[in-house]
Amino acid sequence: MGKALIIGCGGVAGVVIHKCCQNSDVFEEIMIASRTKSKCDAIKEKLDGTTPTKIRTAKVDADNLDELCALIDEYKPDIVMNIALPYQDLTIMDACLKCGVNYMDTANYEPEDTDDPEWRAIYEKRCKEEGFTAYFDYSWQWAYKEKFEKAGLTALLGSGFDPGVTQAYCAYAQKHLFDQIDTIDILDCNGGDHGYPFATNFNPEINLREVSAPGSYWENGHWVEIPAMSIKREYDFDQVGHKDMYLLHHEEIESLAKNIPNVKRIRFFMTFGQSYLTHMKCLENVGMLSTTPIEFEGHQIVPIQFLKALLPDPATLGPRTKGKTNIGCIFTGKKDGKEKTAYIYNVCDHEACYREVGSQAISYTTGVPAMIGAMMLMTGKWSKPGVYTVEEFDPDPYMEALNKWGLPWQINDNPVLVD
Ligand code: NDP
């Protein structure tokens, strides 16, 4: 069918590449391009000969528009899959517009330098107007809507698990299960154990920024912000068991609040063990989560980037991680005039993921929907010019593909609700 340019070659990209190679009818050719070319070459060497997909590799700095355009013009892909970091979202979108290619990613834009005065002024205005203080939000990428429409191109934002699959669950619930969705609780439970006292399951810098920030949720038409980790609940997850979970700000709340008509409340909870929280608090207290550069023995270092260099690389957690994830959405609302509830969720086993593609379940649950999102655009099943999140498309082909490609979902019609 076509060619995909995959940018980035970390934990999530490793899964994306394996899954594209399993789906060679759609992904006839892929180019893996990243900052460190040796990582791209290593995965090509592993997969060459095991798949009909033709693999090429390249080095690219995705912060550099000219480099990106030169690569796209030379390779002529049907889609650019941004599996690098949210810092690169806007540059890669610019490159796609300039070269006339569809775009997709797994996380919304945030700046690497949160001290940049120009960005900061816009951020502070947004905090006041919108009422949440997370560094990431959709405004930057939604601003490209008209440009993509005019160019006749599609940008699919946030096709990982959360964001991503969780929004497909919402669109599915809206289309098939409810006349009116009143509340959505997104639950992200990782019951996996990697045996380290402290490690993050995806890029440490992005992960620690997200979980150390104030929490917030959407209620009755506006944001309610709370101190980080100040709302805690316990939940008994199918196939995982009892876990403590904490309310976080999460990007899909922002788009769902716009796209699910008359929804009254949307919250996001993630499970954390006590050891993770104690380590994070301690690192935060001593300044190790700071993104502001400091002078150290004549060098400028960014504390959180230094911490990243010390922590285990999430891409190496696969062989050590045991246990399961359970991620899904609990809905309450009405159908045919009656009150109704549903929990749509997936359970994923870390060790099974490792056996299949050599990675743990967090990378797997992100990488599979990234491949599926790209497949939706390449096959024309999702096709409308503009900039969209997952819930803005027909959920049926995506939900069907989740079952086929490794993330089967189920529905519990009588879930325990979160108070
Ligand atoms: P990693 O840090 O493991 O990988 C990032 C990759 O991007 C690395 O290969 C890195 O290169 C490359 N990269 C970084 N900067 C550049 C650049 N300027 N030019 C070219 N390549 C670059 O991250 P993950 O794989 O864990 O995460 C990937 C993405 O997935 C992130 O955006 C993350 O937020 C998102 N994510 C989304 C989830 C969801 O459910 N929606 C869940 C988990 C993650 P190098 O190898 O040289 O470092």
Is 102 in contact with 79 (CB distance < 8 Å)?
yes
Which residues, including other chains, have CB under 8 Å from residue 310's CB and lie 6 or more apart?
none
For the CA of 63, the closest atom of ligand 1 is 18
Give 356 Cα–ligand 1 centroid separation in angstroms.
21
Rounded to whole angstroms, how far apart are CA atoms 347 and 240?
9
- pTM (2 decimals)? 0.96
Give 4 Cα–ligand 1 centroid separation in angstroms.
17
Which residues, including other chains, have CB under 8 Å from residue 98's CB and lie 6 or more apart?
65, 69
Q: What pLDDT score does 301 carry? A: 94
State CA 284 to chain mean position distance. 24
pLDDT in tens, 100-157: 999 999 999 999 888 899 999 999 999 999 999 999 999 999 999 999 999 999 999 9
Give 9 Cα–ligand 1 centroid separation in angstroms.
7
Closest Cα partner for 84 from 166, 16, 170, 140? Answer: 16
Instruction: Name the pLDDT band for 54 (thresholds 50, 70, 90).
Output: very high
pLDDT in tens, 151-206: 999 999 999 999 999 999 999 999 999 999 999 999 999 999 999 999 998 888 88
CB-based pocket (< 6 A), ligand 1? 8-13, 34-36, 39, 60-63, 83-86, 88, 106-107, 158, 160-164, 202-203, 206, 314-315, 366
